[in-house]
A = this chain, B = another copy of it.
Amino acid sequence: MPKPVLDFWFDFASTYSFLSAMRIAPLAEAAGVEVRWKPFLLGPIFASQGMKDSPFNLFPAKGQHMIRDVKRLADEIGVGFQWPDVFPQSSVLPARVALVGFKESWGHDFSRAVFLAEYAEKRVISDTVVISDILTELKVPVDVTFAAAQSDAIKGELRDLTAEAQKRGFFGAPTFTTSDGELFWGNDRLEQALRWAKK
């Protein structure tokens, strides 16, 4: 019997996507669920809901709590966290590269490394140097990967994922969806979404 599937929709700009990305692999393994990683862009979704910036910037009290909350949660799972100098960061480049990686074997490792660069190491993930450092560390050829990431096929894939997220009523990240159409929003719902996927 094939494993039940959970779709993990994330934006590299999102702090709570970072936490889920660091947690999801062992939890999914233990649950016997296959996870499909689906990067998308929150920017156009927020814009369509009338927000020209992250809600964490538009509502400063909420933003201030979020930073403290993510720190407490990162401490609990033993992951480093430092508030980056730029928030939110443009995630187009790493999202496209990740889509190349998911077709090969290094997409998950790459994604975790990007999140750590951004939220544990204060690096800027829209910087091609940062992304090429990560690829090099993973022994992935940089030039051919960057070329693939800029192909029309990959650009279209990210656009399509973002359009699908918007069409399905997403409003934040991470979002988890199951094959029966259930939608769970937020890192706090990861365990519940895995349980649902197994039903």
Contact = CB atoms under 8 A, between A and B. Distances in A.
A172 B63 CA distance: 12
B185 A59 contact: no
Interface in A122-168: none
Contacts of A61: 49, 169-171
Interface stretch (A25-33, A35-43, A65-73, A91-99): A65-73
A186 B65 CA distance: 11
Interface string A165-199: 00001111000000000011110110010000000
A76 B189 CA distance: 13
B188 A188 contact: yes
B59 A192 contact: no
A69 B169 contact: no
Given A49-B59, A59-B49, A65 B192 contact: no
Interface size class of A (residues with CB under 8 A): 20 to 34
A41 B52 CA distance: 28
A110 to B, nearest CB: 29
A64 interface: yes
A199 to B, nearest CB: 12
A149 to B, nearest CB: 29
Nearest to A189: B69
A62 interface: yes
Contact of A69 (B64, B170, B185): B185
21 contacts: A49-B59, A49-B61, A59-B171, A61-B169, A61-B170, A61-B171, A62-B171, A62-B172, A64-B169, A65-B169, A65-B171, A65-B183, A65-B185, A68-B183, A69-B184, A69-B185, A69-B189, A72-B192, A76-B192, A186-B188, A188-B188
Interface of A: 49, 59, 61-62, 64-65, 68-69, 72, 76, 169-172, 183-186, 188-189, 192
